[in-house]
Structure 1
Amino acid sequence: MRLFLAISITGAMQDSLLNLQQHWRGIGVRGYFVPAENMHLTLAFIGEYGNPDVVMDAISSVSFTPFTIQLDGAGTFHDTLWTGISPNESLSACVRQLRRALAEQEIPYDRKKFSPHITMVRRAEIIGSMDKLLQQLPTDTMDVSEISLLRSDRGKNGMIYTKIGSIVAEV
């Protein structure tokens, strides 16, 4: 099964991102707009791995305190349109701990440098200039107190993410 660790985007931040998608549609962006229930910030992509219990055991060793993330900017990577997250030492430290826990249990994961972003549109076709896209970008914040292990399955209308388990911040 295809697995990854992520922060699910909820509340006011999710609402702002949905409004941003509406704005982008209105200025002519086309593509597959990520639905609200799929909005997330990937912390570690594991990929095909058959034993989620081993992953949960590994990440259960990680402790973190609640922290806040903030939206910051937008950009493209090939045909993907995303919004960024402000640099954040608490987030970076949490990612390092999670990845170390995976490595210690020899659970393979994508070792690319962590670049915090939320995918907004896949197979994006942008009409006009990026300047229009970068106007009216939200800067909402969201408190993070849970990190989830998600399974990704291809459905007939796009990806379906299922939460397998999670770890919760220590207060």
Structure 2
Amino acid sequence: MRLFLALLPNEEMITALTDIQNDLKRSGVKGRYTDPFNLHMTLAYIGEYGDTERVIDVLEETDFGPFEITLKETGAFRDLIHCTCEENDDLNHYVKLLRHRLSENDIPFDSKPFIPHITLVRRADFTPDALHETAHVSMFANRVSLMHSAQGKNGMVYTELACVYASDEDKNEEIWE
């Protein structure tokens, strides 16, 4: 099973992100646009790993308080266009702690530095002037999701397997086994 841990945007943020995608399309940007149902911020990419219960245990043992995520601007990693978020010490601390706990539990993950972003377009064909500041839409992140990634007929399909709520929320649940 290909797994990753992510923050899922709320409806207001999904609307803002799809508006940004539409602006990019109007600017002539070509590529594989992320389906609105697949928009997310990856906190840790685990990859192929079969023990979902172990990952859920780590999530449940890693407390966090809700924190604010605010969109900032579009940017690019080579041919991938993303929306960056404003710096957030609470988010950065949580990701560092979460990755430390994954490591302590021998759960493999991609150790690339965490750069908070949401992917908008893959294999993008664009010029730098297509990238711009965005509306500073915010949301309170109060849950972290364990996601499964699988190839579907029309691209990747992401399925939420479980979620853990912020420590002041008592709603931790397993969605699918």
Counterpart residue type for residue 131 of structure 1: D
Cα drift, residue 132 of structure 1: 3.7
Cα drift, residue 60 of structure 1: 1.0
Counterpart residue type for residue 3 of structure 1: L
The answer to whether the Cα contact below 8 Å between 1:17 and 1:138 also exists between their aligned partners in 2 is no
Q: Which residue among 148, 162, 166 is the counterpart of 1:165?
A: 162
- Identity fraction in percent: 39
Counterpart residue type for residue 86 of structure 1: E
Q: 1:81-120 alignment to 2 at 5 Å?
A: 81-120=81-120
Instruction: Give the gaps of 5 or more residues in structure 2.
Output: 169-177
The answer to whether the Cα contact below 8 Å between 1:7 and 1:42 also exists between their aligned partners in 2 is yes
* Secondary structure in structure 1 of the residue aligned to 2:61: coil
Q: Which residue of 2 aligns with 1:31?
A: 31
TM-score (norm 1): 0.94
TM-score (norm 2): 0.91
Counterpart residue type for residue 104 of structure 1: E
Cα drift, residue 134 of structure 1: 1.1
Cα drift, residue 47 of structure 1: 0.5
The answer to whether the Cα contact below 8 Å between 1:32 and 1:122 also exists between their aligned partners in 2 is yes
The answer to whether the Cα contact below 8 Å between 2:29 and 2:130 also exists between their aligned partners in 1 is no
Cα drift, residue 131 of structure 1: 2.4
Instruction: Give the gaps of 5 or more residues in structure 1.
Output: none
1:131 maps to 2:137? no
Q: Which residue of 2 aligns with 1:148?
A: 145
Q: What is the aligned residue count?
A: 168
CA distance in 2 between counterparts of 1:66 and 1:156 reads 36
